[in-house]
């Protein structure tokens, strides 16, 4: 049997994408929305009809993620939210969904609205109670996010899978397919906002779903809905994504190293109350992270500075290298004062969410040093 390739090799070769027509070692960008038929009305390429169905560039990007996830099938969407919405839209009216609480606020807000409109019973459960509630309560769909954004809580995917008969959807955005292959741990469907580390250059909005059960009813429904309703990634975005993913394992490795070093520095700082990062032994998510994350703990952390809202905003205002902007997983470091964005969700006023990039760690620590001073 052929030995499977390592993620770094799959990514660097873009899962073998070339341009056979020109002989180029990178795939061509083909923006056409429609495809030719010959004089007998047969399609020149039977798999290319119209770009709302599919395109070569999208297939190339999907092939890379499919290989990295060890998946049977992968579907790209025009955003992470479009990918999550595609799974929920496959639920029948009056279904039951269990959703982890304290996850990315955009997901929570959309899921609440959608479930209310479709008379879906929505049960929101804190991360530590998921296994118990999933054991006691039958559900059609269970959505977990690990590590969670911005609390950095981790959830044992295998334990939740064992506790439910419902479809287990895992948002693995903060882990990336490099650090956690959620399908290997029992997820039925793994989702990522590819806008984050998968693209990693803050210039493509995309989302992705992968599964090991491509013949399941839910996957077939998702696939049909994407095609019919047109939630498709454009060829240029798909091409950019394929290009960016060549360095995904390399970027994730450096970002994780930087994030761990910064988390350790911040945890020891006199002006810091606490640091949430799954790589720190005191963090409640550490044990699960050790079992479930391989090669690092990701680029996302949250720091609670001493004081309140004003102090947190003063620190973010003093940072020079950490750009004040939402999002995460890019090569450039970002900070966000989450309370300003979601003041009603119980986010502490002194919490600063940090996405650590690939800059030199000494420069990153020096920036926090002067800001906290
Ligand atoms: C964990 C997580 N899931 C999903 C999303 C939504 O992704 P997108 O912004 O690509 O729609 C985000 C965006 O920040 C996120 O952080």
The mean per-residue pLDDT over the stretch 287-296 comes to 98
Residues contacting residue 146 through CB under 8 Å, at least 6 positions apart: 153, 154, 155, 157, 170, 171, 172, 174, 175, 180, 288, 292
Give the mutation target among 77, 196, 200, 208 for probing the ligand 1 site: most ligand atoms within 8 A of CB: 196
Structure-block tokens of residue 28 = 């061509």
Residues 136 and 29: their CA atoms lie apart, in Å, by 50
Crossing angle for the helix pair 361-372 and 309-318, to the nearest 10 degrees: 130
Cα of 149 vs centre of ligand 1, distance in Å, is 9
Ligand 1 pocket, CB under 6 A: 79-81, 104, 106-107, 145, 149, 171, 173-174, 193, 195, 205, 207
Output the average pLDDT for the chain.
97
DSSP letters, 17-80, are: --BTTTTBSSPPP---SB--B-TTS-BSSTT-SBTTT--HHHHHHHHHHHHHHT-SEEEEESSH
Cα of 172 vs centre of ligand 1, distance in Å, is 10
DSSP letters, 67-134, are: HHHT-SEEEEESSHHHHHHHHHHTSPTT-EEEEESSS-HHHHHHHHHHHHHTT-EEEEE-GGGHHHHH
- The residue length of the chain stands at 373
Give the mutation target among 149, 150, 170, 190 for probing the ligand 1 site: most ligand atoms within 8 A of CB: 149
List pLDDT tens digits, range 127-185: 999 999 999 999 999 999 999 999 999 999 999 999 999 999 999 999 999 999 999 99
List pLDDT tens digits, range 308-335: 999 999 999 999 999 999 999 999 999 9
The DSSP code for 218 is H
Structure-block tokens of residue 97 = 């969904």
Cα of 263 vs centre of ligand 1, distance in Å, is 22
User: Is a pLDDT exceeding 90 seen at residue 12?
Assistant: yes
Atom of ligand 1 nearest to the CA of 196: 10
Cα of 151 vs centre of ligand 1, distance in Å, is 15
Cα of 356 vs centre of ligand 1, distance in Å, is 16
The residue written with tokens 């873009």 in the block is 14
Atom of ligand 1 nearest to the CA of 83: 11
Provide the pLDDT for residue 2: 81
Residues 166 and 160: their CA atoms lie apart, in Å, by 10
Provide the β-strand partners of residue 125: 100
> Which regions of the chain carry the CATH code 3.90.1150.10?
248-372
Percent of the chain topping pLDDT 70: 100
Q: Structure pTM?
A: 0.98
List pLDDT tens digits, range 223-259: 999 999 999 999 999 999 999 999 999 999 999 999 9
Cβ(182)–Cβ(153) below 8 Å: no
Query: May I ask the CATH class of domain 248-372?
Result: alpha beta
Atom of ligand 1 nearest to the CA of 81: 11
Atom of ligand 1 nearest to the CA of 82: 11
Of all protein residues, the one whose alpha carbon is nearest to atom 8 of ligand 1 is 80
> Which regions of the chain carry the CATH code 3.40.640.10?
7-245
**Strand duo 121-125 + 300-305: pairing:** unpaired
DSSP letters, 135-199, are: HHS--SEEEEESS-TTT-----HHHHHHH-SSEEEEE-TTTHHHH--GGGGT-SEEEEETTTTTT
User: Is a pLDDT exceeding 70 seen at residue 1?
Assistant: no
Give the mutation target among 84, 173, 237 for probing the ligand 1 site: most ligand atoms within 8 A of CB: 173
Cα of 44 vs centre of ligand 1, distance in Å, is 38
Q: Among 3.40.640.10, 3.10.20.90, 3.40.50.150, 3.90.1150.10, what is the CATH number of 7-245?
A: 3.40.640.10
- Cα dihedral 363, 365, 370, 373 in deg (nearest 10): -170
């Amino acid at each position: 049997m052929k030995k499977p390739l390592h993620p770094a090799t799959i990514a660097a070769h873009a899962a073998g994408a070339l341009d056979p027509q020109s002989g180029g070692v990178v795939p061509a960008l083909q923006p056409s929305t429609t495809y030719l038929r010959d004089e007998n009305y047969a399609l020149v390429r039977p798999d290319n009809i119209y770009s709302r169905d599919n395109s070569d560039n999208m297939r190339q990007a999907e092939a890379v993620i499919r290989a990295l996830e060890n998946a049977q099938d992968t579907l790209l969407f025009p955003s992470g939210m479009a990918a999550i919405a595609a799974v929920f839209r496959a639920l029948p009216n009056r279904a039951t969904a269990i959703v982890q609480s304290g996850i990315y606020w955009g997901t929570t807000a959309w899921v609440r609205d959608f479930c209310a409109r479709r008379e879906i019973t929505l049960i929101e459960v804190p991360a530590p109670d998921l296994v118990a509630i999933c054991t006691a309560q039958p559900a059609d769909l269970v959505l977990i996010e690990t590590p969670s954004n911005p609390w950095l809580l981790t959830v044992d995917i295998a334990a939740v899978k064992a506790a439910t008969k419902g479809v287990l959807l895992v948002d693995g955005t903060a882990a990336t397919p490099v650090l956690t292959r959620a399908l290997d741990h029992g997820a039925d469907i793994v989702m990522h906002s590819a806008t984050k580390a998968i693209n990693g250059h803050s210039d493509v909005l995309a989302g992705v779903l992968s599964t090991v059960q491509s013949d399941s009813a839910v996957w077939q429904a998702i696939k049909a809905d994407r095609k019919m309703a047109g939630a498709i990634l454009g060829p240029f975005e798909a091409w950019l994504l394929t290009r960016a993913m060549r360095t995904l394992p390399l970027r994730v490795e450096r970002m994780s190293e930087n994030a761990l070093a910064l988390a350790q520095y911040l945890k020891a700082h006199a002006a810091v109350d606490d640091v949430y990062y799954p790589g720190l032994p005191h963090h409640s998510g550490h044990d699960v992270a050790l079992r479930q994350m391989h090669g690092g703990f990701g680029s996302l952390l949250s720091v609670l500075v001493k004081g309140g809202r004003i102090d947190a905003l003063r620190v973010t205002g003093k940072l020079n290298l950490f750009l004040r902007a939402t999002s995460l997983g890019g090569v450039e470091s970002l900070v966000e004062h989450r309370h300003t964005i979601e003041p009603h969700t119980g986010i502490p006023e002194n919490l600063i969410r940090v996405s650590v990039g690939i800059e030199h760690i000494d420069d990153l620590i020096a920036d926090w040093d002067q800001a906290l001073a």
